[in-house]
Amino acid sequence: MPELPEVETVRRQLSEEVVGEVVAGLEVREKKCYEGTQKIEGERIARVMRVGKYLFIYFESGRGLAVHLKMTGRLVVGSEWYEKAAHTRVVIRLLSGRSIYYWDTRMFGYVKVEEEIEKYRQTVKKRLGLEPWEMTVDIWLGKLQKTGRKVKDVLLDQTMIAGVGNIYANDALHLAGVMPTRRANELGQKQGERLLVAVRQVMERGLATNGASDNSYVDARGEKGAYQNEFRVYGKTKKECPSCANQLTYIKVSGRGTWYCSSCQR
């Protein structure tokens, strides 16, 4: 699933590609992936924003589109391949002749029209926790102390910290030297702080490489990211720990694949 670095990569590229463009038409090929009125012709794109894993395409009128890529969604600008692709679900035609394609194999994601996009973004923001760079160490330690849940579950809970998914949670825990199954309220202050810093560090690598394309994700130009070449532990069943060469352990934590080094993580 695209996480903060992947969605932010799409946001940055979309901003470069489509801000200032005018919507010329809409083609909903799969109703399941589109919500709201289909009358968006003539709207001019003003900016593209993101909160957690949500994207918001603002129109100058104050309306806009909210997009969530969920498991396998892609938002790609102007590629001929997507015009004919079987899994292209929504096409937004632009006056310039280009198109924005929403493509999704599993169809958990969506494009949704909102009449007041800024208000809607604020609503989403209130529902979610702070993002890794907005979070202060004090707030983070306070959140950890208040729960006896496993620390990996806390990382994946979007109301605790926004934007972290399974890839960056696994890699951040390894970088911080924290066992995924440790209870959040049992972490020491230094470990808790190291974990927040590690989340930022692995996500910075994700951003620098345009995200992880181990699965379905491609960026808004249809290109793969490269963070999958830098995975520390994520997906590395029976591989060596990048720090100590010990064989990594694979378990499931709350049903999600979890990899760790029993010697580096405590």
* Residue ranges that bind Zn ion, judged by CB under 5 A: 241, 243-244, 246, 261, 263-264
Q: Is 36 helix (H, G, I), strand (E, B) or coil?
A: coil
Contact 248, 175 (CB under 8 A): no
Catalytic residue among 2, 5, 132, 180: 2
Nearer to Zn ion, 23 or 175 (CB): 175
Rounded to the nearest whole angstrom, what is the least distance from the CB of residue 47 to Zn ion in the complex?
43
Q: Which is nearer to Zn ion, 141 or 195 (CB)?
A: 195
Residue among 83 and 240 whose Cβ is closer to Zn ion: 240
Between residues 122 and 246, which has the closer beta carbon with respect to Zn ion? Answer: 246
Q: Is 39 an active-site residue? A: no
Which residue among 11, 53, 74, 232 is the active-site one? 53
Active site residue 183: no
Nearer to Zn ion, 162 or 264 (CB): 264
Catalytic residue at 146? no
**What is the per-residue burial (b if ≥16 Cβ within 10 Å, else e) of 167-203?**
bbbbbbbbbbbbbbebebeebeeebbbbbbebbebbb
Least distance from C-beta 241 to Zn ion, angstroms? 3
221: number of Cβ within 10 Å: 16
With contact defined as beta carbons under 8 Å apart, do 58 and 52 qualify? no
CB of 172 to Zn ion, least distance (A): 15
Q: Is 70 marked active-site? A: no
C-alpha dihedral over 36, 99, 224, 180, to 10 degrees? -10
Environment class of residue 57 by beta-carbon count within 10 Å: exposed (0-12), middle (13-18) or buried (19+)?
buried
Distance separating alpha carbons of residues 143 and 3, to the nearest angstrom: 21
The active-site residue out of 47, 183, 224, 256 is 256
Q: Order the strands of the 88-94 sheet from edge to edge.
A: 23-28, 88-94, 99-104, 73-77
Show which residues are catalytic: 2-3, 53, 256
